[in-house]
Amino acid sequence: MHDGVFFEDHGIPTATIISTEFARAAKAQAEALGATGYRTVMVQHPIQPLTRDEVRALADKVFDEVLARVTA
Amino acid sequence: MVTQLETDPIEALYERGVTDGLPVVPPTRERVERAVEASGRAGDELVALVPPNYGRATVEKIAVNAVMAGCRPEYLPVVLAAVEAVCDEAFDLHGVSATTNAPAPLIVVNGPIRRALDINCGAGLFGPGWRANATIGRALRLVCVNVGGARPGVVSMSTFAHPGRYTYCIGEHEEASPWDSLAVEHGFAPGDDTVALLAADAPITVYDQRSRTAPDVLATVAASMAVIEHHKMTHWGDTLLVFSPEHAAVVAGDGWSKDDVRRFLFERLQRPVHELVPGKNGGDGLPEHVLRKFADPEHDATPIPKFRAPQHIKILVAGGTAGRFSAVVPGWTFSKGSNLVMRRIR
Amino acid sequence: MTEYLDPTDSVAVPRKTATRPSSLDGKVVTLLDISKAKGDHLLDRLEELLRERAAPKAIVRKKKPTFARPAPDPLRDEIVGATDVLIEALAD
């Protein structure tokens, strides 16, 4: 989260993609740093046991949301 | 007189969410000032920025947490050195506090201060009963949570953690060691007081009552080290091997130095590539970027070591003088991750 | 009641949120791999989709040395100086 908060703070629109299990940790960490409005893009946990194709399918699923997160 | 629960100081501190689940000593100004004074340093001196929040750990802020942990004022120099060590970039406290894995910072104390503060390095040293061990380790935990922001289940996402996250502090039993201490090996003088900090799993006890030679003891120890993290984990870093005085006497009695021990274990803890292929005898195994280096991993016999280098096996002697056991304390030390960090106590 | 000293330290400072462009057309997009396993597969596919469905001027791939630490300052500075938009993955 530190990176995402840093880049936003430095004027770079950022989409940070995390797995669903870390939603709370990401929010808490961003808030602790003072970034109360920071929003992430979430993909379904778990990731590590997935095959390459299964991970690629997640990209297809969230692409529109990623695009929306970095544009107005 | 009966104290109302709402005004009970212990309950008030629970209410603020600044404890580790056990009651804390109320950090009154008087208690904190005594601790700051014992350190001989200025209260507003910045000791470190504590990840993941990078909160400011001044001498006074650390003293507040040390008081809460139950430290006597004279323990503060040890706590300050420990905080400084975990906040060294090489320790990667950011990762240690956030990971789903289970590490807790283990403090190993060397030097005369062990005796001055009654830090247990003998029987039962990983367990309860000694105020210094119990409260110095706990003080570091409270600093990580209260100053660093590593709240369990909120930012600190360890799946299991382990009991060492309450407190994890031992001394080396230097008087019972046939070798140089961990500190002397790392370039400190025998009279120096030091802390060594390792992001560590819980100790794994190795039982070996009957070995009478160094190779026999070490064969048993190696088998327990082979399964650190998982049986196919490789490229591992700093890990602590704690010999009991009895085991150390057997190994050193054969004329073996600590370097001999490290070389033996490093050589023995290697497996051929074909035994490390993911999805064969367990889904995990060599990472893809390593596998790619071999044309036919399924049939490749190139040995891959468990540890990146022999010197990552850190050796000390501790524990009671009776008992033929060793303890392996795995580090959370994958490549580019955490490392053992040492500091002189001042 | 006796006053107790505060064991915590708040580091919250007001943080800005960057202004968004209306589209990625003609923009430099950096894909930052945090070095956790599988993140590269996700970013590979996102890169393909970006090329198919948006018209960025360039797509730059960067990688953190390790997911276990924040990006080192030189990498941060390099990215800030050379990109319009950042996509980072994958924390799990």
A14 — pLDDT class (breaks 50, 70, 90): very high
At B4, the pLDDT band (50, 70, 90 cuts) reads low
pLDDT of B1 > 70? The answer is no
B61 and C2 within 8 Å at the Cβ level: the answer is: no
Cα angle B62, B68, B72; round to 5: 80
- The pLDDT assigned to C10 comes to 87
> Any CB–CB contact under 8 A between A29 and chain C?
no
* Residue partners of B52: CB distance under 8 A and separation at least 6: A2, A29, A32, B93, B94, B97, B98, B148, B149, B150, B155
Q: What is the pLDDT of residues B229-261, one digit of tens each?
A: 999 999 999 999 999 999 999 999 999 999 999
Quick one: which of C24, C83, C62 has its CA closest to A7? C83
The encoded tokens of residue A45 equal 């946990």
State pLDDT tens for residues C22-49.
999 999 999 999 999 999 999 999 999 9
B147 lies within 8 A of chain C by CB: yes
pLDDT category of residue B146 using cuts at 50, 70 and 90: very high
Mean confidence (pLDDT) of chain C = 95
**Chosen from A1, A5, A8, A14 to mutate, greatest number of chain C CBs within 10 A:** A14
Burial class (CB in 10 A: 0-12, 13-18, 19+), B260: middle
Residue boundaries of the structural domains of chain A: 2-70
What is the Cα gyration radius of chain C?
Answer: 18
Whether the predicted pLDDT of A58 surpasses 70: yes
Q: Given this model, what pLDDT does residue B294 score?
A: 98
What is chain B's mean pLDDT, rounded?
A: 97
Say whether pLDDT at B2 is over 90.
no
ipTM, 2 dp: 0.95
**Smallest CA–CA separation between A64 and chain B, in Å?**
28
**Domain coordinates of chain B in residue numbers?**
1-201+338-346
Q: For residues B340 and B196, is the Cβ–Cβ distance under 8 A?
A: yes
Is there a contact between C90 and A47 if contact means CB atoms under 8 Å apart?
yes
pLDDT above 60: residue B85: yes
Q: Could you give the CA distance from residue B291 to residue A17 in angstroms, rounded to a whole number?
A: 27
The percentage of chain B sitting over the pLDDT mark of 70, rounded to a whole number, equals: 98
Handedness of CA B274, B275, B280, B286 (dihedral sign): negative
In the Cβ-directed half-sphere of A34, how many Cα atoms lie within 13 Å? 14
* Closest of A51, A65, A53 to residue A18, by C-alpha: A65
> Are the C-beta atoms of A63 and C15 separated by less than 8 Å?
no
- C75 reaches A (C-beta below 8 A): no
User: Rounded to two decimals, what is the model's pTM?
Assistant: 0.95
Interface of B with A in 215-254 (CB under 8 A): none
Q: Looking at residue B3, what is its pLDDT? A: 55
pLDDT attached to residue B327: 98
What pLDDT sits at residue B6?
67
Asked if residue C1 has pLDDT above 70, the reply is no
